[in-house]
Structures are given as C-alpha cells and as structure tokens.
C-alpha cells in the first residue's frame, strides 16, 4: 500500500463548496478517499468533480456558525459512506474593521465559526476515531485549517487572528491528548490564497502589491496548492506527525 493511498477512507471536508475546501476535497478524492462535503450551500460542483474521479460524495448541509449541526454531520457521514477516517476543519469566515471600531457581533460570528465549531466537530470526530482505533487499529486524521495569522498579528481582523491563533493551540492540545490513542491532529496554514476571503485584499492595489512583494514564490497561491499537504496529513505517510502546523505559503514566513 502506498504511503499516500487513501483508498477505502472517508473524509469530512467542511466549507467544501469553493476555494480551499474544494481544492482539498478533490485532492483527497484523487488519492482514493470518499468525501462528505459539508457547507451552508450545496457543494454540487465539488460533488460532481469527486464523482468524476470515481469516488463517492455525499452533500451535508450545515451552517457551522453554531455547533447544532455537529452530531448530524457525523451521523450522515457514517450513514451514507459507512465510516469516518479523516476530518478537515476548513469552514471559516472573516470580518474586517479597525480594532477601535470592531463590533461584538463580528467578534462572536468569527469565533463561533472558526474556533468553537472547529473544536466541537473535532471532538465528535475524535470520539469516533478513538473508539475505532481501539477496536481495529485504524488511525484517524484530523486536519485543521490555520492561517498565516496563527503566527502573525495581521491588521484589521482581530477576531480572525484570535480564532486562527486558537486553532493552532487546539491542534497542539488535541495532538497531546490523542496521539497515543490513534488520532493524528495537525494543521495546514495557507499563505495568501486567491479565494473569496481574500477578495478585498486583491482588490486593493496597494495591499495586493505589498503582499506580492513579500511572497518569494512571486504569486498568490491557488487552492490546488494545498492538496498535496492535505493528502500527506491524511495518509499513513504522516503517522508519526502530531501537533504540527504545516505552512503552505510560497515562502511568506521565511521572508
């Protein structure tokens, strides 16, 4: 069996309808995994592309601004795909405003989606994966999506920075608790990727130029650039990798 073969594995990917989530879902499917594509809007394009790769895909409608749908996401995945081996916590939102003007509503919305739901979905998946490993030795893989702002402060995104710093901390905490119980917990920290979350930055000529000038690779990243890292962290190749935050950033942090 290849170190990167995901045949027979089932992955939940949140925020799978576009951007980073879609790119990761297709990469995992390309390596052999079946996909539960979770999103507020149906990830129909993602599902079609997954099925063209010869893999199964179930659409799970869920708004992760609250933890209400968490048990149902796990249950529908198990019911329709027969298992759960991989969780990719990708769903996230961002709000921009100067810190002196930042509202409680924007703070709560981002923290609830980007941090609270990430923890409770990981908790639910972890319970299943720990029990599964105890039963048959099968390992679970949880991949959280962090950010450059897991390492840096950023500007005008206080709740986003707080949430992604929290994702980094949770990744390490869960790895500490679950590594010996058959669950690898790691994170990917995307650099500046061309998605809807970065539309405002790319539309601002000064910010766009400033960002590009710092990226050694000389370009914005594409969602597909994250696929290899996701497959690695989902596969047996990473069985001894725990609590790591893998930057896929075109060299941004090295600058």
How do the pLDDT tens digits run along the chain, 255 residues long? 699 999 999 999 999 999 999 999 999 999 999 999 999 999 999 999 999 999 999 999 999 999 999 999 999 999 999 999 999 999 999 999 999 999 999 999 999 999 999 999 999 999 999 999 999 999 999 999 999 999 999 999 999 999 999 999 999 999 999 999 999 999 999 999 998 878 888 999 999 999 999 999 999 999 999 999 999 999 999 999 999 999 999 999 999
Domains of the chain: 10-245 (3.40.50.720)
Which amino acids are annotated catalytic?
160
Residue 235: phi and psi, rounded to 5, are: -100, 175
246 to 37, 144, 166, 188, 201: CA distances (angstroms): 23, 10, 15, 5, 23
DSSP single-letter state for residue 114: I
Dihedral, CA of residue 250, residue 162, residue 126 and residue 58, to nearest 10? -70
Query: How far apart, in Å, are the Cα atoms of 224 and each of 27, 28, 93, 229?
Result: 8, 11, 20, 10
């Amino acid at each position: 069996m290849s170190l990167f073969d995901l045949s027979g594995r089932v992955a939940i990917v949140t925020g799978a309808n576009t951007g980073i989530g879609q790119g990761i879902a297709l990469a995992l499917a390309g390596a052999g995994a079946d996909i539960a594509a979770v999103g507020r809007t149906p990830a129909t394009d993602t599902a079609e592309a997954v099925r063209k790769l010869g893999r199964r895909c179930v659409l799970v409608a869920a708004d992760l601004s609250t933890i209400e749908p968490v048990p149902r996401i796990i249950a529908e995945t198990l019911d329709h795909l027969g298992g759960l081996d991989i969780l990719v916590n990708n769903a996230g939102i961002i709000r921009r405003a100067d810190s002196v003007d930042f509202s409680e509503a924007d703070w709560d919305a981002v923290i609830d989606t980007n941090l609270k739901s990430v923890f409770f979905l990981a908790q639910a998946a972890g319970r299943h994966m720990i029990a599964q490993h105890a039963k048959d030795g099968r390992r679970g893989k949880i991949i959280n999506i962090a950010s450059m702002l897991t390492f840096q402060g950023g500007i005008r995104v206080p709740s986003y920075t707080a949430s992604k710093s929290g994702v980094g901390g949770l990744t390490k905490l869960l790895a500490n608790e679950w590594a010996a119980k058959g669950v690898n917990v790691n994170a990917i920290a995307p650099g500046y990727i061309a998605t809807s979350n970065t539309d405002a930055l790319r539309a601002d000529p000064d910010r766009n130029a400033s960002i590009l000038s710092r990226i050694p690779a000389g370009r914005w990243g594409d969602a597909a650039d994250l696929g290899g890292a996701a497959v690695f962290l989902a596969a047996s190749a990473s069985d001894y990798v725990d609590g790591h935050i893998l930057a896929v950033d075109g060299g941004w942090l090295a600058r």
